[in-house]
Chains A and B, each alone.
Chain A
């Protein structure tokens, strides 16, 4: 299975996603430069964290114009699994693959810490191996992760069960105290209507080895491997 990790000039978690996919999970992984028009032929696309083009204007606002984004859009439209992590999530919002926007954290400070996120749905390729209601310990590192969308959009997300992760304490309670940035309804991650595009602010790629403080994030990478294996098996059976 091949992970394509898109590299914008200011990406800085590209190597971390690569390391998790390639060395921890043992899958193939390669970098795709943002000026490329093609992704090659990957099984999964990851938009990694960082500061894509400096992000002085608005996070991810310029990255959506990079040539590679047309290929990402096409890959997503064909049902391919796309994971946007942190800045990658912000880029997915800017390019319209996911709804909503990011405000500055409510205390206007950058936050780097381990947080709890509750898995709301297991019917996405990136949560397939999780249990519903399971709380994962995964770090955040961002200054603009305060998720916002108009009330009708958030209601629609809830109706369509597209909230994939919420900030929660160890008991799985989505309290205000467990919300590190002020996100509406403790939203930490969402998916698109067809459920193959998932964006989240926390960094699962930083929580794939016990030596780093948590290995819970590995479940998200394992999920997509499992989901694609199941899809492959289904297709083989149907043929």
Chain B
């Protein structure tokens, strides 16, 4: 077969990329070799458009044991233990086949964690769907939730939190970003690198089939009407197989018999062999005829490119083969030696002894193209930043607006979703899904880890740099609200087609903003994932960087949640309100507008606030803590009352409005100014709390008290909101079930 324009197009390779391949290997590649390059040089595997920007992110810190470049990042949590975590997207497969797409997304990130030698102990999901009014969006949501549950529940790793956000822009392109965290001893961390000439290369786990061929390439293209035909490129998950692999691999790693381990995710065997080889500076030679196969007549091309799930590659120490095989046999898994480590840095693929591909490892990995794609600030940003006063003529009563917001799917209770996840297995979960952050204790220590994933696509559309800063700040604030100090972050950057200069500009601005926030708050990025080409029929999603932050809690017994624990407590607002409505859920839900400037963020003030909140919680002063985000102060206050058994709240405050504001009352109640947290405190400790805030330079105001059956908010001496807690909570609880239960579609 000759390699012509059509063949290149099918492989997603451009003419100049092909020329580069010829130059790198010194001849024309055969079709198998072309396949290897096409997956490894895909956007998904090579980060060719994003790499120059990602390099600017801070990745180092005193706690960082492993930064980006491995299967997952790792940070020190003391006592010789490490938290190993990463977030990854599975957006495209979840659109094509929601259940399997989401399930294999969970499976993929879990493999990344245990590949590092860590025992996975918690999962989070950041989900984005189209308007809930669209039956297709509801069908995708049901499938994604069932798929996440089906995989995570079976393998026995609790899904302890996450977020689900709804916006029209995700209609043809939902986002499924899965975060996993594991625990390992420092000295037991395993890297994905090959070493030791002559060491055998083992293939373990499920057999290889024709599923998922060119999955990585698919994830690097836009969607159109024909995308549904790409269903065969979505893999099928088998959580039981992964459970066996997880237990067997951890058992093998504990024996010190292997040099390196790599999972076969995107680009399958090709990626696992070339990456372990290039990281270790060695070559790998395998014979595909030895690879266990599920189907007959598979070509070397298909075997190398298959993305069948639940497979691992192990580089085993020579002489320890029997130890490794015995453990896999215990778990009824086959471990097959398919090749060995060689000198010279080449990936040599044979079929029954005949060489079918022979290329330098580094040509596939380090030598992949790097693009500085053109960027252009989108036109009309000034207009976007103006909130059109004229479209806000008929303002609803604040109590009505509050109820509308509480029923909005982005704000409403996510119980319908998280009750389909086993969030308790392993008996470590001390703050479950639905709280500000998920928290798991670490048995055998007094510690706990808090984690949160956050991102606001509307903020990022309006101002990507500010939006990304706000995303990192919110995720860190959320873990602080459980009493934790942030120790590391992972990012999942979901954007449209990077070949459009406006999208590339959004991406670059967002990464720059993320870097600023990370540096200012002292939180390193230890890894992550980029998902581009999130467009259908030329309509891009909102630029959506999702940030996962992990925080350390020294005393697990001090953990608090957002819920007011009792009546008769003082309610204190920490942080300053500026009455900013830009990009708010209020503007979107009540007025149908995505306009204005996102809230300003002073990173110094943010850092001071987070330190103060974690400190107040660890000293037992703050009895609950909840950050103000979507829906502003009014929604935040209501959420503090929900699931408390009907404890209400009465507060009084002065109104505020920013320059571009439109309505003082709405801006005060529903504006989403950053760096604010509502805490509750016993009245005899309020003075001490306010003094601590003053010392920390954090604005603080005692606004009122918990108790009574109602939520009452007075602004500028007039009653703005008065409603029953139970009625408000009923609306908040019922919204998702009303959309998702008992409907044919």
Chain A: residues with CB nearer than 8 A to chain B? 9-10, 12-13, 15-16, 19-20, 23, 33, 35, 49-51, 53-56, 107, 109-113, 139, 141, 143, 203, 205-206, 208-209, 211-212
Cα A10 to Cα B331 in complex, Å, equals: 10
**Which among B146, B154, B421, B426 is the interface contact of A10 at CB below 8 angstroms?**
B154
**Which among A23, A53, A212 is the interface contact of B240 at CB below 8 angstroms?**
A53
Asked whether, in the complex, the Cβ of A141 is within 8 Å of the Cβ of B425, the reply is yes
Give the bracket for the number of chain B residues in contact with chain A: 20 to 34
**Which among A9, A49, A211 is the interface contact of B556 at CB below 8 angstroms?**
A211
B360 within 8 A of A: no
Chain B contacts with A in 436-470, Cβ cutoff 8 A? 441, 443
Cβ contacts under 8 Å, B644 to chain A: none
Given that A16-B427, A211-B430, A211-B441 are known contacts, is A51 also in contact with B240, CB under 8 Å in the complex? Answer: yes
Asked whether, in the complex, the Cβ of B420 is within 8 Å of the Cβ of A141, the reply is no
Looking at the assembled complex, report how far the CB atom of A33 sits from the nearest CB atom of chain B, in whole angstroms.
8
Cβ contacts under 8 Å, B426 to chain A: 12, 15-16
* Minimum CB distance partner of A203 in chain B: B424
Asked whether, in the complex, the Cβ of A110 is within 8 Å of the Cβ of B243, the reply is no
Given that A9-B331, A9-B332, A112-B423 are known contacts, is A212 also in contact with B429, CB under 8 Å in the complex? Answer: yes
Cα A55 to Cα B156 in complex, Å, equals: 13
**Which among A51, A56, A111 is the interface contact of B243 at CB below 8 angstroms?**
A51
Looking at the assembled complex, report how far the CB atom of B712 sits from the nearest CB atom of chain A, in whole angstroms.
29
Cβ contacts under 8 Å, A16 to chain B: 425-427
Cβ contacts under 8 Å, B443 to chain A: 19, 23
Q: A9-B243, A110-B150, A141-B422 are in contact. List 12 more A-B contacts (CB 8 A).
A: A12-B425, A13-B425, A16-B425, A16-B427, A54-B239, A54-B241, A107-B741, A110-B146, A112-B422, A141-B425, A205-B427, A211-B556
* Minimum CB distance partner of B741 in chain A: A107
Cβ contacts under 8 Å, B429 to chain A: 212
* 24 pairs of residues in contact across A and B, judged by CB atoms under 8 Å: A9-B331, A9-B332, A10-B154, A10-B243, A12-B154, A12-B243, A12-B426, A19-B427, A19-B443, A23-B443, A50-B156, A51-B240, A51-B243, A53-B240, A54-B241, A109-B420, A110-B150, A110-B153, A112-B422, A113-B419, A141-B422, A211-B556, A212-B427, A212-B429
B615 within 8 A of A: no
B546 within 8 A of A: no
Given that A9-B243, A211-B557 are known contacts, is A51 also in contact with B154, CB under 8 Å in the complex? Answer: yes
Cβ contacts under 8 Å, B239 to chain A: 51, 54
Asked whether, in the complex, the Cβ of B420 is within 8 Å of the Cβ of A54, the reply is no
B723 within 8 A of A: no
Chain B contacts with A in 705-745, Cβ cutoff 8 A? 741
Looking at the assembled complex, report how far the CB atom of B617 sits from the nearest CB atom of chain A, in whole angstroms.
15
B244 within 8 A of A: yes
Cβ contacts under 8 Å, A51 to chain B: 154, 156, 239-240, 243
B321 within 8 A of A: no
* Minimum CB distance partner of A14 in chain B: B156
Asked whether, in the complex, the Cβ of B156 is within 8 Å of the Cβ of A12, the reply is yes
Looking at the assembled complex, report how far the CB atom of B396 sits from the nearest CB atom of chain A, in whole angstroms.
34
Given that A9-B243, A54-B240, A212-B429 are known contacts, is A112 also in contact with B421, CB under 8 Å in the complex? Answer: yes
Looking at the assembled complex, report how far the CB atom of B182 sits from the nearest CB atom of chain A, in whole angstroms.
15
Given that A110-B420, A112-B421, A211-B441 are known contacts, is A56 also in contact with B240, CB under 8 Å in the complex? Answer: yes
Cα A55 to Cα B741 in complex, Å, equals: 26
Most chain A C-beta atoms within 10 Å of own C-beta, residue among B421, B423, B425, B429:
B425
Looking at the assembled complex, report how far the CB atom of A215 sits from the nearest CB atom of chain B, in whole angstroms.
12
Cβ contacts under 8 Å, B244 to chain A: 9-10
B358 within 8 A of A: no
Most chain B C-beta atoms within 10 Å of own C-beta, residue among A110, A112, A205:
A112
B149 within 8 A of A: yes
> B240-268 interface mask toward A, CB cutoff 8 Å, 1 = contact, 0 = none?
11011001000000000000000000000
Asked whether, in the complex, the Cβ of A212 is within 8 Å of the Cβ of B156, the reply is no
Asked whether, in the complex, the Cβ of A111 is within 8 Å of the Cβ of B427, the reply is no
Asked whether, in the complex, the Cβ of A54 is within 8 Å of the Cβ of B154, the reply is yes
Cα A121 to Cα B677 in complex, Å, equals: 49
B234 within 8 A of A: no
Cβ contacts under 8 Å, B425 to chain A: 12-13, 16, 49, 141, 206
> B316-343 interface mask toward A, CB cutoff 8 Å, 1 = contact, 0 = none?
0000000000000011100000000000
* Minimum CB distance partner of B154 in chain A: A51
* Minimum CB distance partner of B157 in chain A: A12
Cβ contacts under 8 Å, A205 to chain B: 427
Asked whether, in the complex, the Cβ of B419 is within 8 Å of the Cβ of A112, the reply is yes
Cα A63 to Cα B423 in complex, Å, equals: 25
Asked whether, in the complex, the Cβ of A10 is within 8 Å of the Cβ of B427, the reply is no
Asked whether, in the complex, the Cβ of A139 is within 8 Å of the Cβ of B424, the reply is yes
Cβ contacts under 8 Å, B17 to chain A: none
Cα A23 to Cα B441 in complex, Å, equals: 15
Cβ contacts under 8 Å, B150 to chain A: 110
Looking at the assembled complex, report how far the CB atom of B181 sits from the nearest CB atom of chain A, in whole angstroms.
17
Looking at the assembled complex, report how far the CB atom of B416 sits from the nearest CB atom of chain A, in whole angstroms.
9
B238 within 8 A of A: yes
Given that A10-B154, A12-B425, A13-B425 are known contacts, is A112 also in contact with B420, CB under 8 Å in the complex? Answer: yes
Cβ contacts under 8 Å, A10 to chain B: 154, 240, 243-244
B155 within 8 A of A: yes
* Minimum CB distance partner of B423 in chain A: A112
Asked whether, in the complex, the Cβ of A141 is within 8 Å of the Cβ of B332, the reply is no
Cα A142 to Cα B516 in complex, Å, equals: 44
Given that A206-B424, A212-B424 are known contacts, is A12 also in contact with B155, CB under 8 Å in the complex? Answer: yes
* Minimum CB distance partner of B448 in chain A: A211
**Which among B153, B238, B556, B741 is the interface contact of A54 at CB below 8 angstroms?**
B238
Cα A23 to Cα B444 in complex, Å, equals: 10
Looking at the assembled complex, report how far the CB atom of A23 sits from the nearest CB atom of chain B, in whole angstroms.
8
Cα A110 to Cα B425 in complex, Å, equals: 14
Cα A50 to Cα B430 in complex, Å, equals: 21
Looking at the assembled complex, report how far the CB atom of B118 sits from the nearest CB atom of chain A, in whole angstroms.
16
* Minimum CB distance partner of B422 in chain A: A141
Cα A112 to Cα B420 in complex, Å, equals: 6
Cβ contacts under 8 Å, A113 to chain B: 419
Asked whether, in the complex, the Cβ of A141 is within 8 Å of the Cβ of B424, the reply is yes
Looking at the assembled complex, report how far the CB atom of A136 sits from the nearest CB atom of chain B, in whole angstroms.
16
**Which among B238, B419, B441 is the interface contact of A111 at CB below 8 angstroms?**
B419
Cα A110 to Cα B471 in complex, Å, equals: 31
Cα A203 to Cα B73 in complex, Å, equals: 34
Chain B contacts with A in 565-580, Cβ cutoff 8 A? none
Cβ contacts under 8 Å, B146 to chain A: 109-110
Cβ contacts under 8 Å, B149 to chain A: 110
Looking at the assembled complex, report how far the CB atom of B343 sits from the nearest CB atom of chain A, in whole angstroms.
39
List of 6 A-B pairs having minimum Cβ-Cβ separation, nearest first: A12-B156, A54-B240, A141-B422, A16-B427, A51-B154, A110-B420
Looking at the assembled complex, report how far the CB atom of B593 sits from the nearest CB atom of chain A, in whole angstroms.
35
Looking at the assembled complex, report how far the CB atom of A43 sits from the nearest CB atom of chain B, in whole angstroms.
22
Chain B contacts with A in 332-378, Cβ cutoff 8 A? 332
* Minimum CB distance partner of B432 in chain A: A213
Cβ contacts under 8 Å, B424 to chain A: 112, 139, 141, 203, 206, 212
Cα A112 to Cα B153 in complex, Å, equals: 10
Looking at the assembled complex, report how far the CB atom of A104 sits from the nearest CB atom of chain B, in whole angstroms.
12
Cα A107 to Cα B557 in complex, Å, equals: 37
* Minimum CB distance partner of B433 in chain A: A112
Cα A189 to Cα B510 in complex, Å, equals: 54
* Minimum CB distance partner of B332 in chain A: A9
Looking at the assembled complex, report how far the CB atom of A11 sits from the nearest CB atom of chain B, in whole angstroms.
8
Cβ contacts under 8 Å, A50 to chain B: 156
Cα A9 to Cα B238 in complex, Å, equals: 14
> B126-165 interface mask toward A, CB cutoff 8 Å, 1 = contact, 0 = none?
0000000000000000000010011001111000000000
Chain B contacts with A in 173-217, Cβ cutoff 8 A? none
Cβ contacts under 8 Å, A212 to chain B: 424, 427, 429-430
Looking at the assembled complex, report how far the CB atom of A221 sits from the nearest CB atom of chain B, in whole angstroms.
13
Cα A83 to Cα B201 in complex, Å, equals: 44
* Minimum CB distance partner of A108 in chain B: B146
Cα A23 to Cα B427 in complex, Å, equals: 12
Looking at the assembled complex, report how far the CB atom of A183 sits from the nearest CB atom of chain B, in whole angstroms.
17
